[in-house]
Structure 1
Amino acid sequence: MNLSKLTSGPLTIGVELPLDNDWASDGQRQRLLDKRPFGVPDLSAHQSLAMQADELGFRALWIRDVPLYDPSFGDAAQVFDPLVYLGFLSGVTRNILLGTAAIVLPLRNPWIVRKSAASAQALSQNRLLLGIASGDRPSEYPLFGADYETRGHAFRHGVEILTGKQDRRLAPGQAILPETQPPPLLSAGLSQQSPQWIGEHMSGWLAYPGTPEEHMRRVALWWNVAGDKPYVSFIHLDYLDDAKAPRRRHRFGVQTGRDGLLRELEEMQSAGVNHIGLHFRRNQAPVADTLMRVAEDILGVFHETP
């Protein structure tokens, strides 16, 4: 059900947390006033913004896994641990899918990830999309007692546990509770695996942001190894008041108005993208205002009415 809801429309639109614009000029000034390090967002309105996205009809909330804040990377994501945060979000939202993009599986005990995911799945009434990854920050691995060079093997082992292929290790009567409908697994990138392995073992792919032309090439690869399984990506958006503002590309996204965003999304759809998560840390306008405007301008064009 989760995947069909994610893809029920020509293209569906979600949002990526944190719902903050701390990378924009005004956001940077506020960050300095608040004495927050670079990459640490303002979370004072996180609950109301998540609820707003749910009420406006965005299809999914995506949260990242950054176990260790490292100033050399400069990105703390949404700060909260994603597995804890999923439980909180499940209680303050009703309809929106809850996705991880993505849990760094080699740094976590996969049995605990499985139990946490089952808990979030039950608490949210089956709204979880479990994105997983091998991780790409070498400085985290020694601290967590994990080996960076063998993270691909650890990822495959973790997938076996998440999918029940290691349940033979459980003694009679033992179980991972709560028993729920297993959430779909989506890989962020290739997770140190071959495209064929990802296509066979994952329910969908979380692709890195790119232009429509770049996605066209990646989607062709994905379709070749995975058939019609969902292809998901993200746009770092700076949404302007001027509806006819041209598209200006920046790292991982665009600055544009209504017409330009519609064209960008139509081209993503034509490339074969099934879902786009919008990321607002570069957005100049207040995020609450932009959520409202995107809902009014964009969602009705793409989302099918249930």
Structure 2
Amino acid sequence: MTMPLERLTAGGFSIGLEAPLDHDWTPAGDQARRRDGRQFGEPDLRQHAELATLADRLGYRALWIRDVPLYDPSFGDAAQVFEVFSYLGYLAGVTRDILLGTAAVVLPIREPLLTLKSAASIQHLSGNRLLLGVASGDRPVEYPLFGRDFEGRGSTFREHVALLRDGAHGHLPEGMAVLPSTSAPLPLLVAGLAQQSPAWIGANMDGCLAYPGTPDDHQRRVAAWRAVAGSKPYSSFIHLDLAENADEPLQRWRFGFHGGRKALASELAALRAAGVDHVGLHLRRNVRPLDETLHEIAEYVLPQFHETQLTQTIR
């Protein structure tokens, strides 16, 4: 059985997507949000399943889901709204091949045995497609609401990682177990440093989920990651607005850019050259219809990077 991390980096580089699959950060999307009475930062989820299955069929390598337990208007981002493990269970049922990643589960505010049980359940239900991204969290307001200590989250993070690593075998009375058991350790990818030292992160995590940046930014970050983690996967994200004109040049903004598919391919090639192993595309700023955008990238860009060419008919 091919492990999820091996699938993520098959061919040396891969491209995925970050949920929610909506373009609510565009002027038209914001207008629709107001019309529908949704909160600022709350996406339109009416087509989420349809777009997830389309991404799966078109050959995107992974679909990443954020963990935002509570909507806070001061942050203005509800992520994909659904509880992260519940949503992954649903997505496991409506997709077949695409990897399902969390970017990232905030470990210290969760009950660790239930985190393990939830993650192991997704791994079984999805056919071994889970990539468990984890973090210590960066929203102080959440911690007291969950009865957790914000200042001690680094120590709590290490404790939870240890439990996830050994399947809770060393944390339960004799004869007890968390089911379903996993045949292999859950793949753990870290977002940020999680209040740990780089050396600890490199030794104890299986991969990195890095903040968006330019190829030059990532070249420096990849070097730092390789120094402590060796060849373990390094992934990041791009906030993309794909222009209709394939030749439209790249115009950078914070976390990403606007440009045509040729500019996208050039940026991805530069990221690959910088040592990045996987990029998730974030489309909340994308003006064009998302199904149209997903088709264009799948037809013209994915085949330049993925090991296997598209075999499905792109309609």
TM bucket normalised to smaller = over 0.9
SS class of match (1:187)? strand
Q: 158-167 or 229-238, which moves further after superposition?
A: 158-167
RMSD value, Cα: 1.0
Provide, for residues 114-167 of structure 1, a one-character-per-residue CA deviation record: whole Å limited to 9, x for no partner.
000000000001000000000001111110111111111110011011001752
Provide, for residues 189-231 of structure 1, a one-character-per-residue CA deviation record: whole Å limited to 9, x for no partner.
1111111111000000000101110000000000000000000
Query: Counterpart in 2 of 1:76?
Result: 78
Query: Counterpart in 2 of 1:209?
Result: 212
Q: Partners of 1:109 and 1:3 in 2: how far apart?
A: 25
Provide, for residues 12-32 of structure 1, a one-character-per-residue CA deviation record: whole Å limited to 9, x for no partner.
000000000000111111111
Provide, for residues 39-89 of structure 1, a one-character-per-residue CA deviation record: whole Å limited to 9, x for no partner.
000000010000000000000000000011000000000000001111101
What amino acid is aligned across from residue 187 of structure 2 in structure 1?
P
Q: Partners of 1:292 and 1:75 in 2: how far apart?
A: 27
What amino acid is aligned across from residue 257 of structure 2 in structure 1?
V
Which of 24, 36, 39 pairs up with 1:37? Answer: 39
Asked if residue 107 in structure 1 is aligned to residue 133 in structure 2, the reply is: no
Asked if residue 234 in structure 1 is aligned to residue 241 in structure 2, the reply is: no
Q: Partners of 2:249 and 2:50 in 1: how far apart?
A: 31
Query: Counterpart in 1 of 2:11?
Result: 9
Query: Counterpart in 1 of 2:253?
Result: 250
TM-score when normalising by structure 1: 0.98
The answer to whether the 8 A contact 1:65-1:103 is kept is yes
TM-score when normalising by structure 2: 0.95
Q: Partners of 2:226 and 2:36 in 1: how far apart?
A: 46
Q: Is there any run of 5+ residues in structure 2 with no aligned partner, and where?
A: 310-315
Q: Partners of 2:156 and 2:222 in 1: how far apart?
A: 27
Query: Counterpart in 2 of 1:198?
Result: 201
Report the Cα offset of residue 10 of structure 1: 3.2
Q: Percent identity among equivalent residues?
A: 60
SS class of match (1:125)? coil
Asked if residue 56 in structure 1 is aligned to residue 58 in structure 2, the reply is: yes
Which of 163, 175, 194 pairs up with 1:173? Answer: 175
Number of residue-to-residue matches in the alignment? 306
The answer to whether the 8 A contact 1:24-1:282 is kept is yes
SS class of match (2:115)? helix
The answer to whether the 8 A contact 1:126-1:183 is kept is no
The answer to whether the 8 A contact 1:118-1:182 is kept is no
Asked if residue 273 in structure 1 is aligned to residue 276 in structure 2, the reply is: yes
